[in-house]
C-alpha cells in the first residue's frame, strides 16, 4: 500500500534547509552521521523492540533489559564500534540499564580519581565488561549531604587493608543504579578512618559479588530497593541497597589520585584540591544537560507533529477544522519549549567544551577554573532538568486526552525523566551551590580582581546596576546587545540584593539560610543568562545553510523573550526594563511565533528521530495518527478476550443482584 505523508503540506512550508539544520543540531557532520547510523541500526533490529514495556511485570521488564544490554554489547563487539558509536547505540536503545552506571559513573570515577596503576588494573577489566560496576555514594540517611555519609573505611595497618562497614541502618547504601542485581563491583564512598581519626569521605573500589556464581561476597547484604514511579520507565534499572559487615579490601583499592594512605598508615593529601572527590558528579551533570535537550526535543517533536495533525473547532461551511497548532495559545505554550530544546542543545555543547577544558587544566595541575566548572554544571543541570521535566508534562497536556495514553510515549518519557531533577544533586541544593559561588563573586566586586568566564559580566557592575534598557521598538528586542544587557542587569541586581540582605544578618550562614529562596532565584537568573548568551554565541558563529540563521534567531528570541515574560516581575522590580518595554517584548514574541509557525514541523524533523526512538503514535513521522491509535488499542492485553477475566466473579453477580432488586 502506498505510504501517505499526512504532514507533507507542513514540510512543504519550511523556509530553511532541514538537512543542514540536522547537522547543526547534531553538532557536526560526523556526529550526525554516527547518530543517524546508530539510530537506524537500533530501529531496524527487532531485538530492540520497546513498545510492550508498559504491560510487562517488573521481573519480565528487568530480564528483558538484561537481554537487550547483553545483545547491545554483542553488536558493539561484532561491529567493532568506537566508544562514540557504542554510546550512541546505547542511547538509541532507550532503556535505562546498569550499563548507564557502568559506563557513565563507575568508569569515569576510576578515570578521574584513580592513579595510573589503578587505571591499568581496573579500567582494563571494565572496558571489556569483565567486571560490571556502579557508583555507590548515596545512603538511606544521606544523599545531598555527602559529608554526612556514615559508611566507614578503617585502615588496618596489620593486614594493610581497609575494613568497610555500615555502622547503622541509615548508613546502608541506597539508590545506586545497577547495584541491586547486576554489579560485581562498586566505587563506594566512605569515611576514611586512620588511627581513630576521621579524614572525611573518599572513594574505594569494592568487589560485591562473586565472578563465578554472582552470589554476594561474605559480609555483604545486597538487593533491589523496589518499584519506582510509573510502569516500565525507570523500573528497568536495579537501584539497590547495600550493607557491609566488616568487609576487607586491599589498601590499593582506595582511589588515590586526590589523597593517599601509605603502607605505614600515613594520610597524604596531594596538591590536587579535595573537591576532586566530587569530580564524577561534575562530569555526569554536564552530560545530563545534553540529555535534557534530547528528552525535551523528543516530547516537543511529538507535540508539534500531533498539533499539526489535530483539528478542533473553526469549521465554517463544512470545511476542515483548525489545526490546533494554529491557536495562538497552543503556540505560546509549545514554541518556547521548542526554543528551549535548541537552547539546551547549544548550552550542552558549550558545557562539554568547558568540561574538557577544565579536565585538561586539572591534568596540568591548574585548578583555578574548577569552581566555575562546578557552578556551571550544577546550575545548568538544575535549570535544564527542571525545565525539561515541566516541559514534557506540558507537551502531554498540549496533546489533549490522547497525550495521556501510553502509546503517545509521553507518560513513560515523563516517568523516566523526572528523577533527573533529583539524581546527581537535588535541583534546589544545586542552585544553592551556584548562589554560594555568586555571593563569593559579588564580594570580590571592586577589589580589583579580574572576573572571567560566566561571571565576567559582573565586571561591568557600575553600569549594570544603574542602566535602563534603551529598547524603543519591538524590533529592538531582536538585538543581542539589548537582550544580554537586560538579562545581565537582572542577574546582577538580584545577586547584589541578596548579598546586601545577607550582610544585615547576625552572621553570613544565618543570612544565607534566611535568604535561600531569593538566592535560588538569583541563581536561576544567572543560569538563564548563560543559556541565552551561549545561544547568541552559537548564532554568531559559523552557521551554513539556507534560512538556518533566521530560524535560529527566531528561536533564540523566543527563548529569551518568553523567559522575560515569565519572570517579568523580576525584570520590572529591579528596574531593568519598563512596562512599556515589556509590552514591546510581548509584541515581538507574537511576531516570532508567527515566523516559526510554518517551520515548526521541519524544526522538529531536524532532530532526526526515528519512529522507533520516539515511541509515539502521536509523533509518527507520517502523521498517520488515528488509524494507528485505533489499531494499537486492540493490542492491549485487556482486549485479548471480549469478556474480561473477573466478569463471572465480580460483575455478573452484581448485575444479577440488580435484576433481583428491580424485580422486588
Ligand X SMILES: Cc1cc2nc3c(=O)[nH]c(=O)nc-3n(C[C@H](O)[C@H](O)[C@H](O)COP(=O)(O)OP(=O)(O)OC[C@H]3O[C@@H](n4cnc5c(N)ncnc54)[C@H](O)[C@@H]3O)c2cc1C
Ligand Y SMILES: CCCCCCCCCC/C=C\CCC/C=C/C(=O)SCCNC(=O)CCNC(=O)[C@H](O)C(C)(C)COP(=O)(O)OP(=O)(O)OC[C@H]1O[C@@H](n2cnc3c(N)ncnc32)[C@H](O)[C@@H]1OP(=O)(O)O
Which are the catalytic amino acids? 424
Classify 113 as helix, strand or coil: helix
Indicate whether 436 belongs to the interface with ligand Y (CB under 6 A): yes
Beta-carbon contacts of residue 120 (< 8 Å; ≥ 6 apart): none
Q: Which of the listed partners (ligand X, ligand Y, none) does 433 bind, with a CB threshold of 5 to 8 Å by partner kind? A: ligand Y
* 132 phi and psi angles, rounded to 5 deg: -125, 130
Half-sphere CA count of 94, side-chain side, radius 13 A: 24
* Choice between 177 and 240, CB closer to ligand Y: 177
Residue 514, exposed/middle/buried by CB under 10 A (0-12, 13-18, 19+)?
A: middle
Indicate whether 574 belongs to the interface with ligand X (CB under 6 A): no
Q: Which of the listed partners (ligand X, ligand Y, none) does 370 bind, with a CB threshold of 5 to 8 Å by partner kind? A: ligand Y
> With CB under 6 A as the contact rule, which of the stretches 72-80, 250-258, 288-296, 306-314 interacts with ligand Y?
288-296
Distance CA 530, CA 301 (A): 25
Q: Which of the listed partners (ligand X, ligand Y, none) does 54 bind, with a CB threshold of 5 to 8 Å by partner kind? A: none
For residue 548 the three cell numbers come to 538556518
Contact present, 109 and 255 (Cβ < 8 Å): yes
Half-sphere CA count of 27, side-chain side, radius 13 A: 17
> With CB under 6 A as the contact rule, which of the stretches 61-69, 202-210, 368-376, 581-589 interacts with ligand Y?
368-376
What's the length of the chain? 664
* Choice between 307 and 433, CB closer to ligand X: 433
C-beta nearest to ligand X: residue: 143
Q: Which of residues 136-175 bind ligand Y (CB under 6 A)?
A: 137-138, 143-147
* Choice between 311 and 436, CB closer to ligand X: 436
Containing 23, the helix (H) or strand (E) segment is helix 18-26
Site size with ligand Y, rule: CB under 6 A: 31
Interhelix angle 548-566/516-540, rounded to 10 degrees, is: 170
Minimum separation from the CB atom of position 6 to ligand Y (A)? 25
The residue assigned the cell 535541583 is 427
Indicate whether 100 belongs to the interface with ligand Y (CB under 6 A): yes
Distance CA 532, CA 395 (A): 22
* Choice between 306 and 487, CB closer to ligand Y: 306
Indicate whether 417 belongs to the interface with ligand Y (CB under 6 A): yes
The residue assigned the cell 513521522 is 621
Beta-carbon contacts of residue 206 (< 8 Å; ≥ 6 apart): 164, 185, 186, 187, 188, 244, 247, 249, 253
> With CB under 6 A as the contact rule, which of the stretches 299-307, 325-333, 367-375, 443-451 interacts with ligand Y?
367-375
Indicate whether 370 belongs to the interface with ligand Y (CB under 6 A): yes
> With CB under 6 A as the contact rule, which of the stretches 351-359, 424-432, 498-506, 596-604 interacts with ligand Y?
424-432
Residue 361, exposed/middle/buried by CB under 10 A (0-12, 13-18, 19+)?
A: middle
What string marks each residue from 205 to 234 as x (binds ligand X by CB under 6 A) or -? -----------------------------x
Minimum separation from the CB atom of position 657 to ligand X (A)? 47
Q: Find the DSSP H helices in 178-237.
A: none
Indicate whether 41 belongs to the interface with ligand Y (CB under 6 A): no
For residue 516 the three cell numbers come to 535561600
* Choice between 175 and 477, CB closer to ligand Y: 175
The residue assigned the cell 573537591 is 275
Indicate whether 423 belongs to the interface with ligand X (CB under 6 A): yes
* 254 phi and psi angles, rounded to 5 deg: -80, 135
Q: Which of the listed partners (ligand Y, ligand X, none) does 374 bind, with a CB threshold of 5 to 8 Å by partner kind? A: ligand Y
Give the β-pairing of 267-269 and 259-261. antiparallel
* Choice between 145 and 573, CB closer to ligand Y: 145
Q: Which candidate, 178, 80, 60, places its Cα nearest to that of 89?
A: 80
Of these, 26, 35, 92, 96, which contacts ligand Y (CB under 6 A)? Answer: 96
Q: Which of the listed partners (ligand Y, ligand X, none) does 498 bind, with a CB threshold of 5 to 8 Å by partner kind? A: none
Distance CA 261, CA 241 (A): 28
Indicate whether 429 belongs to the interface with ligand X (CB under 6 A): yes
For residue 423 the three cell numbers come to 539524581
Indicate whether 136 belongs to the interface with ligand X (CB under 6 A): yes
Contact residues toward ligand X (CB under 6 A) are: 101, 135-138, 143-144, 175-177, 234, 239, 419, 422-423, 425-426, 428-429, 432
Contact residues toward ligand Y (CB under 6 A) are: 96, 100, 104, 135, 137-138, 143-147, 177, 275, 278, 281-282, 291, 294-295, 298, 370-371, 374, 416-417, 423-425, 429, 433, 436
Amino acid at each position: 500500500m502506498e505510504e501517505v505523508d499526512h504532514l507533507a503540506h507542513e514540510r512543504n512550508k519550511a523556509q530553511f534547509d532541514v538537512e543542514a539544520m540536522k547537522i547543526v543540531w547534531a553538532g557536526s557532520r560526523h556526529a550526525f552521521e554516527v547518530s543517524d547510523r546508530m539510530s537506524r541500526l537500533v530501529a531496524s533490529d527487532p531485538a530492540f523492540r520497546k513498545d510492550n514495556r508498559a504491560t510487562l511485570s517488573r521481573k519480565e521488564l528487568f530480564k528483558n533489559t538484561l537481554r537487550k544490554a547483553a545483545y547491545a554489547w554483542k553488536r558493539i563487539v561484532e561491529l567493532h564500534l568506537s566508544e562514540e558509536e557504542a554510546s550512541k547505540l546505547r542511547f538509541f536503545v532507550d532503556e535505562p540499564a546498569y550499563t548507564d552506571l557502568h559506563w557513565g559513573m563507575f568508569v569515569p570515577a576510576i578515570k578521574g580519581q584513580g592513579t595510573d596503576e589503578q587505571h591499568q588494573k581496573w579500567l582494563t577489566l571494565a572496558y571489556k565488561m569483565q567486571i560490571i560496576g556502579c557508583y555507590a555514594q548515596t545512603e538511606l540517611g544521606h544523599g545531598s549531604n555527602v559529608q554526612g555519609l556514615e559508611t566507614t573505611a578503617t585502615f588496618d595497618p596489620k593486614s594493610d587493608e581497609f575494613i568497610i562497614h555500615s555502622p547503622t541502618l541509615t548508613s546502608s547504601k541506597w539508590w545506586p543504579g545497577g547495584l541491586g542485581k547486576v554489579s560485581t563491583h562498586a566505587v563506594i564512598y566512605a569515611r576514611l578512618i586512620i588511627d581513630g581519626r576521621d579524614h572525611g569521605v573518599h572513594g574505594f573500589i569494592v568487589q560485591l559479588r562473586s565472578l563465578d556464581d554472582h552470589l554476594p561476597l561474605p559480609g555483604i547484604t545486597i538487593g533491589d530497593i523496589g518499584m519506582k514511579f510509573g510502569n516500565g520507565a525507570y523500573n528497568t534499572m536495579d537501584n539497590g541497597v547495600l550493607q557491609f559487615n566488616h568487609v576487607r579490601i586491599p589498601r590499593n583499592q582506595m582511589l588515590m589520585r586526590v589523597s593517599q594512605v601509605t603502607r605505614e598508615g600515613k594520610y597524604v593529601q596531594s596538591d590536587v584540591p579535595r573537591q576532586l572527590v566530587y569530580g564524577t558528579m561534575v562530569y555526569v551533570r554536564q552530560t545530563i544537560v545534553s540529555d535534557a535537550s534530547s528528552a525535551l526535543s523528543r516530547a516537543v517533536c511529538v507535540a508539534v507533529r500531533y498539533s499539526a495533525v489535530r483539528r478542533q473547532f473553526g469549521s465554517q461551511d463544512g470545511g476542515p477544522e483548525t489545526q490546533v497548532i494554529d491557536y495562538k495559545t497552543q503556540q505560546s505554550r509549545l514554541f518556547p519549549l521548542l526554543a528551549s530544546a535548541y537552547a539546551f542543545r547549544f548550552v550542552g555543547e558549550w558545557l562539554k567544551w568547558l568540561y574538557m577544558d577544565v579536565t585538561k587544566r586539572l591534568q596540568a595541575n591548574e585548578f583555578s577554573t574548577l569552581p566555575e566548572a562546578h557552578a556551571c554544571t550544577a546550575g545548568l543541570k538544575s535549570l535544564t532538568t527542571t525545565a525539561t521535566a515541566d516541559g514534557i508534562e506540558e507537551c502531554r497536556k498540549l496533546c489533549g486526552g490522547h497525550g495521556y495514553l501510553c502509546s503517545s510515549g509521553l507518560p513513560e518519557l515523563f516517568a523516566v525523566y523526572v528523577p533527573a531533577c533529583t539524581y546527581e544533586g537535588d535541583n534546589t541544593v544545586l542552585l544553592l551551590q551556584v548562589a554560594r559561588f555568586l555571593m563569593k563573586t559579588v564580594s570580590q566586586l571592586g577589589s580589583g580582581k579580574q572576573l572571567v568566564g560566566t561571571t565576567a559580566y559582573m565586571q561591568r557592575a557600575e553600569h549594570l546596576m544603574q542602566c535602563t534598557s534603551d529598547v524603543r521598538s519591538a524590533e529592538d528586542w531582536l538585538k543581542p546587545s539589548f537582550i544580554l544587557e537586560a538579562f545581565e542587569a537582572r542577574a546582577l541586581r538580584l545577586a547584589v540584593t541578596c548579598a546586601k540582605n545577607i550582610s544585615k544578618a547576625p552572621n553570613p550562614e544565618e543570612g544565607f539560610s534566611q535568604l535561600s529562596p531569593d538566592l535560588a532565584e538569583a541563581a536561576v537568573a544567572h543560569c538563564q543568562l548563560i543559556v541565552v548568551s551561549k545561544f547568541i554565541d552559537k548564532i554568531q558563529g559559523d552557521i551554513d545553510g539556507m534560512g538556518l540563521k533566521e530560524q535560529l534567531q527566531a528561536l533564540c528570541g523566543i527563548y529569551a523573550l518568553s523567559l522575560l515574560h515569565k519572570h517579568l516581575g523580576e525584570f520590572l522590580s529591579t528596574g531593568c526594563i519598563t512596562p512599556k518595554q515589556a509590552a514591546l517584548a510581548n509584541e515581538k514574541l507574537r511576531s516570532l511565533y508567527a515566523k516559526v509557525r510554518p517551520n515548526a514541523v521541519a524544526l522538529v524533523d531536524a532532530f532526526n528521530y526515528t519512529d522507533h526512538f520516539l515511541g509515539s503514535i502521536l509523533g509518527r513521522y507520517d502523521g498517520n495518527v488515528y488509524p494507528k491509535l485505533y489499531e494499537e488499542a486492540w493490542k492491549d492485553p485487556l482486549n485479548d478476550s471480549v469478556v474480561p477475566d473477573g466478569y463471572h466473579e465480580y460483575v455478573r453477580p452484581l448485575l444479577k443482584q440488580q435484576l433481583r432488586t428491580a424485580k422486588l
